[in-house]
Structure formats: C-alpha cells, structure tokens
Amino acid sequence: VSETLHKVVVVDDHDLVRHGIKTILNNTHDIKVIGEATSGEKAIQITKELNPDIILMDVKMSGMGGLEAIKRITRQNNKIKIIAVSSLDNEPYPSRTLQAGANGYISKNATADEMIKAIHTVNMGKKYISADIAQKIALNKLEEKDRKSIDDISEREMQVLIMITTGKKVSEIAETL
C-alpha cells in the first residue's frame, strides 16, 4: 500500500512554534511541510501559491487572526483542510473556529502523535477535535441554557473580544478593524 504525501502549510506568528511543528512533521514519512506563514494575510497568499492539502492554523495571531483567515481560505478553496492549533481551548473559540470552516481543532498542548493523527484524520475527510477540547465543547453545550449571551455575539464582536482578551489596546483594536 503506497501512502500519499500530505502537503502541509504551518501558520503561526511564533517562530519557535512554527519551527518545532515543521521539524516534527518533516520527520514523518508521509507528511511534508511545504510552506510557512506568520499571519492570516500571509496564510491566504501562500495557500493560493502552494495549494497545500492541509493547513495547521494558529487561531490567535496579530493582524488578521486565524478565524478570519480560515473563513477566507475555505471560501477560495474548500478542498484544503484546516486544523486549528491553538492555546485557546475554552469555548466559544473551538466551536466558532469549526463553524468558520476548520476541519479540526487541537490544543498547543497536544503531543506530536496527536497532531499527526489529526492530519491523517482530516485528510480522510473526517473532523478531528482533541479529547480535552471535545469535552469542553460538550460541557459547554450542557451548560448553554444558563448562559446564552456569549454565543449570541456577532463575528465582529467575537473578533473584538479576542483582541481584548489578548491585551490589545483600544488604538490597536481600532487600527486592526
């Protein structure tokens, strides 16, 4: 049985994270990192140029975040699979990211084996969510009746909320928007 090579682009604004993921994946026999990007804007551009099978996308980045980049990339090419790799593992981030078009969501605390498993799973056309994140999503759905307000905010409000929670100043938020 010959396995096909999975072409991957890694998107993260931290050099060390990108380099670490690239090193792990390039030591896997059926995965090759063909490109890297440091922002959502660059991810969109490199995706058009390289046409990867899979994108590993950080959700929280300066400039255009991963959420908006996921929406735009899936609009331009819905064959590309996107796995969010994020430290934001509490709701509503995972649900919103999956609704935006991501095929998977793993925590930055995931093991190398789990990241590789996620790549193989989404490449087969299935969804992949880390067990700890899936549990948080499920628990959030159970508690949803008690607090509906955060789930009712608009995409733009969510974008502002993410910037506020990451410590952005009002002037930085205004410039980004």
Express each pLDDT in 4-59 by its tens digit. Answer: 789 999 999 999 999 999 999 999 989 999 999 999 999 999 999 999 999 999 98
Give the angle subtended at the CA of 130 by the CAs of 73 and 13, to the nearest 5°. Answer: 45
Structure tokens belonging to residue 84: 């969010």
How far apart are alpha carbons 19 and 158 in whole angstroms? 29
The per-residue pLDDT for 39 is 92
Triad 103, 104, 110: Cα angle to 5°: 165
170 or 127, greater pLDDT: 127
How many alpha carbons fall within 13 Å on the CB side of residue 152?
Answer: 5
